[in-house]
Structure formats: structure tokens, C-alpha cells
Structure 1
Amino acid sequence: MPTTAPLLSLTWTDHLTGRRGFLVVDRLVRGVASGGLRMREGCTLDEVAGLARGMTMKEALHYDPAGRYVPLGGAKGGIDCDPRDPGAYALLVRYLRAMRPYVESCWTTGEDLGLSQDLVDRAAAEAGLVSSVQAVYPLLDDETAARERLADAFALEVDGIGLDELVGGCGVAESVLVALERAGVPHPGTRVAVQGLGTMGGATARFLARAGLTVVAVADIKGTIANPAGLDVESLLTARDAHGTVDRAALRPGDLELPPDAWLSTDAEVLVPAATSYAIDPANQSRVTARWIVEAANMPVLPEAERLLTARGVTVLPDVVVNSCTNAWWWWTLFGDIGPDASEAFAHIRHAMRTLVTTMLTRADADGTTPRTAAHAIAADRLPVIAERFGWYG
């Protein structure tokens, strides 16, 4: 999809700390855009703009003319601060107060890298907002019923983990399974390494392990935990803190503690970068021996690195497809395509992702391109249809 200037791009400077925050609205549909809010040290306006473009595509890729969920435009927010900083929460509240006119009118947001949904919700309430997604309420047929449905869905837990923390990883795992099945590779014996054991990485590891794959390495901020015979994923998930860091006391005999970047060269068929952007660059891509890289994080593989990886036979499944189900699940639930039920949510996600990933890989094969190029082409086909049917400004 060709890069165009975003509809709105702004930089906010905190009057107390001098730290900066950003908001980019790439596109509106019916006057509303969707995209999470991230917090990390070093976050930039260019990064947020790229993520906002990605959200435009994620929304378009899930367009179903028969569905109740109408895709929104794409947007993203970012704050340049370490989420572990003692002043991070107060900074988040001040950012949301500054962004209140946009959240109230056109930007629906939620958790992203560095921030949990609970934290965003608490800060939004303190900033005087009704909800982080209140801009979409005027588009709903029955706002009260929709909000109750979403609240009920967020209250659900599956084996001790909130449904909202599992839906994204379910979509990532399904992407992996479709790619393996198309290549005729059985689930048992297929090894996986995951960078990041937060919301997305942890859920992905759980679903892949339960599908019969062997998770041989996971990485967090302290380092890489590896075991060629397979890690006890459930034990590691139980031993995480709020930032996805594993208590090493939970490791078993045979589990190895390796450097933080060791996940990259793990002897595995599938790599799942599920933490930071720009994790795989032209310098370190040569260490990758996996057959597939599945982008659970946003923008983890730099473009030049992807070109080099593709040239040596590594397939990159792009973030705009792979990690799109956290966002889509919100809207499927809020608009009423699914109810507040875990089984229904997982079934809907699996069907949607199988359809989308299959369409993307089939298009890539037919056009002789990469999956990312195919995904962008599908989005480019759908965006004019959405714009013509619904309009930018409502």
C-alpha cells in the first residue's frame, strides 16, 4: 500500500518532565480511528506514524461486508518513557488529559507495548474520560448493550488468564498453524522460539504448545530461557510479573539461561518476535536459522532485513495480519458479531485468521511476492471500497 501523509500528526510535550508523547491519525472511517497507546523509552513520532499506517491496514483486512463490525480508520499513540519509571503512570494520565478531545471525538485506543488495558482504563478514568473507546459509541446500535457485552467479555478468564490477554495470541498461533499446514509440516516436532512473554508472546506460546508444537526458547528483559527438549510454558506463564519477566526460581533442571538475544539464533523452525519493534535488523538477521518469522510484535523486522531474509528462503508473516486479532476482537464483541464467550471468541478468531492468512499466502504465491506485499495489496483493494461505502468523516 503506498505511503501517504497521515490525516493528523501531533507531538505533545509534558510540562513537568519535558517528555514527549505522540498521536497520529492515519485515516478516519465514519469519523473514527482505532489504535493502541504504547509507552517505551525512545518512542518516536516516525514509529507511531508507521504503526498508525499499520492499523489502517489491519482494520481494512478484517472488513466483512456481511459483518456488524465496520472497520474504522487507523491511528496510534505513543509516549517516550520507560513504563517501569516511577513517574510513568502520572505521565500517562497527563498525556490522556491532553489527548482527551481526540479520545472523546475520534480516537479509540487501548493497551499496547508497555501498557496493560487495566492501566489504560484506570488512567483514562482519572483523566476524565468515559472510556478509552468512547469515540465509537455513536456508531453502535445499542450503546448500553454493547458496553455491557464488552465489559462481560473483559471479565472472563480462561485457565487463570483474562480472555482479553489471550485473543491476540490465539490469532498469532493460528497464523503459524496455517503456514505449517500449507507447507505440509506436522505440528509435533516443530520447534518455536518466542521473544517476549508479555500479553501477546505469552498467549502465543500457550496456544502453540497446546497445539502440539515445542516451545524451546523464550526471551524476556533478563535474558533467554531455553531447553532443546521443550520448556514448561504453563509454569513460565505462572511465574511472570506484570511486564512479562519470568522469575528464574521457576526454571526446571535442564532449562538454560542464555543472553537476551540468544532467541534469535535458536535452533527452531519458527521465530515469534513478540516484544519490541526493530528487533531484527540487517546486522543480526544472518543469525536466523528458522524457516518462518511470525510478527507478533509491531514492526519487529526492518525492511532491509526482511529483504535479506527472503533472499535466503525465510518467510516473514507480517504484523498487519498476524497480530490483528486483539483489535478485531474488541470490535467483533462491541458491535455484536460475537458474544462475551471464550469459546465463541476463539472459534471466530481461528476462522477469521485461517481465512485471512490463507488469502494472503495464496495471493503471495499467485503474484510471486512476499506475504507482506500481498497483505498490503489486499488492504489497498479494500480501502477504496470502505471509503466509498462509509466515508472518511461520517
Structure 2
Amino acid sequence: MTHPPPAPHISLTWTDHVTGTHGFLVVDRLVRGVSSGGLRMRQGCTLDEVAGLARGMTMKEALHFDAEDSGARYIPLGGAKGGIDFDPRVPGAYGVLVRYLRAMRPYVESVWTTGEDLGLTQDLVDRAAAEAGLVSTIQAVYPLLDDEAAARRRLADAFAVTVDGIGLDELVGGCGVAESALAALDRAGFTYGDARVSVQGLGTMGGATARFLSRAGLTVVAVADVKGTIANPAGLDVEALLAARDAYGTVDRGALRDADRELPAGAWLTADAEVLVPAAVSYAIDEVNQASVRARWVVEAANMPVLAEAEALLRERGIMVLPDVVVNSGTNAWWWWTLFGDIGADADEAFAHTRHAMRALIDRMLARAEADGCTPRAAAHAIVADRLPVMAERFGWYR
């Protein structure tokens, strides 16, 4: 889509009366009066960043809408995002979060469904929401449910499911990212055993992605956290690293093996790997450092990690960027598949449904890119442009 996006339905800035911290909410689009998008907390978060993420959520919802699937219960929503310009690791962060949610309570109750994003865990968001007087962070969607009580029980049961010590809610997003990468490898005829992976970020999304790619037979040769990059050309022990990380994805270096190396923070970018997974922060790859990328595929597990100028230069060098609006959309979709009853509170069913949906999306996007002679991102935008009018005709939307 080359024309400017429409103005968001809601765009506001909040100022914390205690710390002076700024927080933001952008509702890009309402579908059936409701929007969906997580809440992030990081120092340096801006309104423009949140607005871009909200537009991305509108796209993710549209991409998971299948007008021809008459049996699907999942009703697509609009896109939104929240953000707080504060370091979640410093004292006082929880108080800021509670006050933000208290200020945003009217929107959460009526139009904005939210959950964890960068810097926050779902448990922390839920605890803060309860303290702020909210019934749930997704209560705005309850009027759209056929059986609210059953739906809420189903989602609560799903959040209680663990797989090898990790919550299902922390794994489904990484399952979707990994399946996206695998689908691209399959289309290129690339053998999994010959593919090496470098991951920036070992939090919820990056950690789960590393696990699923490793279990698929790829070799994870580098991972980065806030302390730097951990690398091993022969392959890292992903399970050991996951077991040794804290709540923020930082790995205890005491868990490293003798052959594992500690490298500077930016070494993940230059790793000798076929698949590069930025899974931590936005704007990680710019027009300067993109020259150091050696991978064949960049798989955007984080939101907006590759700047547009960098993506154009990567394409000139034959490097494909699989865009965030498709790649990391699995977590959001899993919430709604579960809540609306398309799947139950079962890990195997969740992973199977996620793999099927993500592979179909990647295949559709890459086929469109080949047919139109454009980037995968442009192809994803084109698919969204096709679907939004159908959604508007069927459900209506409010700008």
C-alpha cells in the first residue's frame, strides 16, 4: 500500500503524576467496536513507535481473517498498541504500570484488549490490571462471545498448560516464528540440517523460536541478551540456556559450556548463519549495520526490527526479510483461537493449529511476492488491502 495509512481512531499520551513518565495508547482500527494489541514497557518508547505497532496489529488481525472459512469462530478485531516510556527493571516500574492501566481503564473496559509485550510478562500485566480495578485485560471482547464463562475458562486453562517447564502462552509465538522460517526454507529446498541460526533475544519470543528451530534440526550458533552474545559454531545447548535465563531473558553465564564463547552484544548480527532472527527490540537493523548481515533469511520475530532503508539494501544483496506482521502474529491469533473456541486448552492442538495457519500465511505471502515481483512485506500489505474491505463489508469498522 503506497498511500498514507488512515489516521488512527484514538491516539493519546498519558503523563504519570508521580514520576512524569509518559505512556501512550493508539487504537488504529476498530472492528465490531474492538481492537487488539499488547502493552510494552521500555525506556525510550515513543508515540510514533506505538502508532506503527498499532498499524501492524491491524494487519495481523486482517491476515488471520479467512473469509472462506465458514467454520471459524475467531472474529477478527482491529489493531491497537500501548506503550510506556520506562525501564521495567528499575524500582517503581510496577507502580507506573498500575497507574497507566488505571488511567486507561475506560479504554480497556470498552475498546482495547491487551496483554504482554516487550518488557512485561502476562502474569505482571494481569496482576497490575487487577490492582487497577480491571476485570480482565481482554474484557472489551467479552460481548462478542457466545458463552463468556466457557470462553474465559478455556483461556485460563490454556494459560495453565506447560510444556517442558515453559508456559504454552510463551511458546505459541515462537512456534509460529519457527514455522515461518521452516516454510521459507522448504520453498527454497534448503535442508534443515544445513541451516544455522542466530537469535537476538532469548525472552519469550526468541527463546521459544530457538527451541522450535533447534528441535526441527537447525543448529543455533548464536544468541544475544543484554549482557552480550553467546556463540558456538558447533551449536549451542538451547535447552540449557533456556533453563539458565531469568525473567528478562538474560542467561546465567555459569551455565555455559567450555566451547561456548562470550562475544560483544552486536556479534549476533554478523554470525555465520543462514537464518537471522531479531527477537528483541525494534529498529535493530539499520542501513549501516545491515552490511554486516551474512544470513540468507532475516525472520522478524520482534516488532519492526528492520528499518525500511535497511530492508531495501538487504534485498539488493539477495537477503529475504520475512516481515513481523506475518511472522510474529501467532501469539495474538492463539489468544483468539482459544477464546472463541477454534481450539481447546491443549498444547498439541495449539501447536498444530499454529503451524498450519502460519505455513499457509507464509506460502500465500511468498507466492504473492513472486507473482508481483515485490518484497514479502509488500505482498503482505497487498493481502491486507484485499481483506480489509471484505472485513468492513461483513463486520463494519470504525476509523
TM-score normalised by structure 1 residue count:
0.99
Residue 103 of structure 1 aligns with which residue? Answer: 108
SS of the residue aligned with 1:244? coil
What TM-score do the two structures reach when normalised by structure 2? 0.98
Residues in 2 aligned to 1:337 and 1:7: alpha-carbon distance in whole angstroms: 29
1:82 and 2:72 correspond? no
The aligned residue for residue 296 of structure 1 is 301
The alpha-carbon deviation at position 64 of structure 1 amounts to: 2.1
Aligned residues: 394
Q: Residue 163 of structure 1 aligns with which residue?
A: 168
Q: Secondary structure at the match of 1:357?
A: helix
Task: Name the counterpart of 2:73.
Answer: 68
Per-residue CA deviations over 1:306-338 (Å, capped at 9, x if unaligned) read: 011011100000000000000000000000000
From 50, 53, 59, the counterpart of 1:51: 53
Q: Which amino acid aligns with 1:201?
A: G
Q: Which residue of 2 aligns with 1:38?
A: 40
Partner in structure 1 of residue 289 of structure 2: 284
Map of 1:145 onto structure 2:
150
Contact conserved, 2:207 with 2:242, CA < 8 A, in 1? yes
The alpha carbon displacement at 1:393 in A equals 5.0
Partner of residue 275 from structure 1, selected from 263, 266, 280: 280
**Residue among 6, 23, 26 paired with 1:24:** 26
Deviations, residues 135-190 of structure 1 (Å, cap 9, x unaligned): 00000000000000000000000000000000000000000000000000000021
Q: What SS class does the counterpart of residue 113 from structure 1 fall into?
A: coil
Contact 2:62 2:387 survives alignment (8 Å): yes
> What percent of counterpart residues are identical?
80
Q: Give yes or no for contact 2:35–2:80 (8 Å, CA) kept in 1.
A: yes
Tell me, in whole angstroms, the C-alpha distance in 2 between the residues paired with 1:104 and 1:387. 23
* Partner SS state of residue 271, structure 1: strand
RMSD over aligned Cα atoms: 0.8
Structure 2 unmatched ranges of 5 or more: none
Task: Give every structure 1 segment of 4 or more consecutive aligned residues whose post-TM-superposition deviation is greater than 6 Å.
Answer: none
Contact residue 29 and residue 398 of structure 2 kept, 8 A: no
**3-state secondary structure, aligned to 2:269:** helix
> Post-superposition shift, 1:85?
1.2
Amino acid in structure 2 at the alignment position of 1:54: G
Whether the 8 Å contact between 2:59 and 2:384 is mirrored in structure 1 is yes
Q: For the residues of structure 2 that align with 1:21 and 1:393, how far apart are their CA atoms?
A: 24
* 1:1-394 superposed matches below 5 A: 1=1, 2=3, 3-65=5-67, 66=70, 67-392=72-397
C-alpha separation in 1, matches of 2:240 and 2:392? 47
Residue pair 2:192, 2:217 contacting (<8 A) in 1 also: yes
Cα drift, residue 40 of structure 1: 0.3
Q: Is the 8 A contact 2:9 2:398 kept in 1?
A: no
